[in-house]
Amino acid sequence: MIAFEPSEEQKMVRDAVAQFADRTLRPRMREFERARALPPDVVAAAHAMGLPLAAFPEAVGGSGLGFVTQVLIEEELAAGDPAAAFALGGPGAYGWAALLLGGPDVAKELLAPFAGEAGASRVGAVAWGEPRAAQGRAGLATVAEKTASGWRLTGEKRYVLDAARAQSFIVFAQVDPAEGWRGVGAFVVPADARGLRVTARHETLGLDAASFGGVALDGVEVPAGARLPFGSESPNVVWLFATQALLVAARGVGLARAAFETTRAYAEQRKAFGKPIGHFQAVAFTLADRATDLEAARAMVWRAAWDWDQLAKSEGGKPDARQALLHTAWAVSYAHEAAMRAGDDAVQLHGGSGFMRDYPVEKWMRDAKQLGLCGMTAEHADQLAAAVALDKDLDPGLVLPSAETQSAFL
């Protein structure tokens, strides 16, 4: 069947998150922005609702609600405050990297600290991005050298979401320089490891409540067991970026909805030349286009999320993940651009007032641009979609964010 209605369970989750977003996030959006963080009570409330672990399989300590439910959650959170969706902490991409690159046993172990009351303030982060491309070869500039007891990591990582807040990182580094983009491995590194230094938090265009930064690794020693079994030689790294980008796309849908709804209401109420501005075609058509964008983006995100849930259910007789990747790539670039258009038009239709911080729309416009640089950019998603459509090899150097092409926050 093809159906577009959430299950009763999904509706309950969605409605609860919507209420949280409406009562707690939206009214305090500017407060979070000024503080450049979510206050502990908000983080604790989200944790108590089980949001950070909702989508993870039960086998690894999650609630097993799956990606479709997760994208419903992300849309609601972002409709409250897009930045909050990025700032809630929890395992996030770290957890998904643990699952996709470590397997269920490793994921279960790495996710355990995030459960229970004590887990509320816990944050994981993934360090993939870098300031400069590797010189003279393909792949990451950060290297992992084998030592007698494990690995030694050296390099500088950038564009790391929650770098300043994480207690633990999954760091990507070049294990085999000769293998280029196929020779990248993933390592679990605690934030207090000797030689790891969190670099200064960036000041960014938008999503201020989230924290964007980096880490420097000055010969950080980790045991052999710190290396996750799968690296960039497997398709799982591409899956990791795709699924994380899909969650970002769902937030894009929430952001677009907030911007659209606010603007729709404004167009009804604001008068010019004797009638509401929405009664002029130039304004009404813009609203119609943004409403259509929203409808399309949401359904595309749902379909891609459904693909990933199907994939997760079908262990063994694995269906082709390329379908999920294609739908995800399409959804990601569409939603990113739809969110940007929604933010841009929201400010435009508010006129001069839209430029003022008294109104929320200028924040959404900044957030939209920032959001499009998280997970995967529209450009990378397009490269990924084309690579799948053309039956090309999914070259991580081409389809994943990197200093060689275009960086993105993960």
Partner 1 sequence: MTIEFSLSNRQRDTLAMVHQFAESVVRPQSLQWDRDHGVPHDFLRQIAMMAQSMGGGLVMGPGRSSGDEKEPSADEKKRRQPALSTVLGAEAMAWGDAGLLLCLPGAGLGGPPVRASGTPEQKKRFLSVFDDMSGELRWGAYALTEPGAGSDVAGIRTSCRKDGRHWVLNGRKCFITNGARASWNVVFATVDPALGRAGHRAFVVEKGTPGFSVGKIEDKMGLRASETAELVLEDCRVPEDNLLGGEDGYRTKEGFMTAMKTFDTTRPMVAAMALGIGRAAYEHAVAFVKEHYMLARSVPRYAAIAERLARVGRQLEGARMTTWRAAWLADQGQRNAKEASMCKAMAGGAAIRACIEAIEICGAEGSIAGDGRLLEKWFRDIKVYDIFEGTGQIQRIVIAKRLLPDLKSF
Q: Is 379 in the site for partner 1 (CB under 8 A)?
A: yes
Task: Give φ, ψ of 395 to 5 degrees.
Answer: -70, 115
| Owner of token pair 């590797």 | 134
Q: Are 209 and 169 in contact (CB under 8 A)?
A: no
Report if residue 273 touches partner 1, rule: CB under 8 A.
Answer: no
Cβ pair 59, 108 in contact under 8 A: yes
Nearer to partner 1, 118 or 390 (CB): 390
Joined together, the tokens standing for residue 342 give 């929604």
Q: Which of 78, 300, 349, 400 is close enough to bind partner 1 by CB under 8 A?
A: 300
One of 122, 165, 251, 303 touching partner 1 (CB under 8 A): 303
User: Judged by CB under 8 A, how many residues of this single chain contact partner 1?
Assistant: 53
| Options 44-52, 104-112, 225-233, 382-390: segment touching partner 1 (CB under 8 A) | 382-390
State which of residues 383, 396, 400, 402 lies at the interface with partner 1 (CB under 8 A): 383
Q: Residue 306 or residue 359: which is nearer to partner 1 going by CB?
A: 306
Instruction: Find the binder of partner 1 among 53, 385, 394, 400 (CB under 8 A).
Output: 385
Hey, which residues does 79 pair with through a beta bridge? none
Would you count residue 154 as binding partner 1 (CB under 8 A)? no
CB of 148 to partner 1, least distance (A): 41
Closer by beta carbon to partner 1, 29 or else 238: 238
What are the C-alpha distances in Å from 112 to residues 42, 126, 146, 291, 368? Answer: 22, 17, 28, 41, 33
Q: Other CB atoms closer than 10 Å to residue 343's CB: what's the count?
A: 32
Contact pattern from residue 56 through residue 95 relative to partner 1, giving x for each residue in contact according to CB under 8 A and a dash for the rest = ------------x---------------------------
Which of 18-26, 108-116, 179-187, 381-389 is the region at the interface with partner 1 (rule: CB under 8 A)?
381-389
* CA pair distance 103, 355, nearest whole angstrom: 47
Report how far apart, in Å, the C-alpha atoms of 322 and of each of 26, 55, 209, 385, 393 are.
Answer: 37, 21, 35, 9, 11
**Residue among 6, 103, 190, 235 that touches partner 1 (CB under 8 A):** 6
310-329 positions binding partner 1, by CB under 8 A:
326-327, 329
Smallest distance, partner 1 to C-beta of residue 300, A: 5
Instruction: In whole angstroms, give the CA distance from residue 220 to residue 152.
Output: 5
Binds partner 1 by CB under 8 A, chosen from 142, 174, 333, 370:
333
Where does this chain touch partner 1 (CB under 8 A) — which range of 83-91, 152-160, 178-186, 283-291?
283-291
Could you say which of 386, 397, 403, 406 contacts partner 1 (CB under 8 A)? 386
Q: Does 250 bind partner 1 (CB under 8 A)?
A: no
Contacts of 115 (CB under 8 A, 6+ apart): 53, 61
Q: How far apart are CA 202 and CA 214, in angstroms?
A: 9
In whole angstroms, give the CA distance from residue 185 to residue 181.
10
CB-hemisphere CA count at 13 Å for 344?
11
Which DSSP string corresponds to 387-400? HHHTT----HHHHS
Binders of partner 1 in range 115-144 (CB under 8 A): none
Exactly one of 20, 330, 364, 409 binds partner 1 (CB under 8 A); which one?
Answer: 330
Residue 224's CB is within 10 A of a number of other CB atoms, namely 11
Residue number, 8 or 358, with CB nearest to partner 1: 8
β pairing state of 196-199 and 184-190: unpaired
Q: How many CA atoms lie within 13 A of 247 on its CB side?
A: 24
Q: Is residue 264 part of the contact set for partner 1 (CB under 8 A)? A: yes
Q: How far apart are CA 207 and CA 29, in angstroms?
A: 10
The residues binding partner 1 (CB under 8 A) are 1-8, 10, 68, 264, 267-268, 276, 278-281, 284-285, 287-289, 291-292, 295-297, 299-300, 302-303, 306-307, 326-327, 329-331, 333-334, 379, 381-387, 389-392
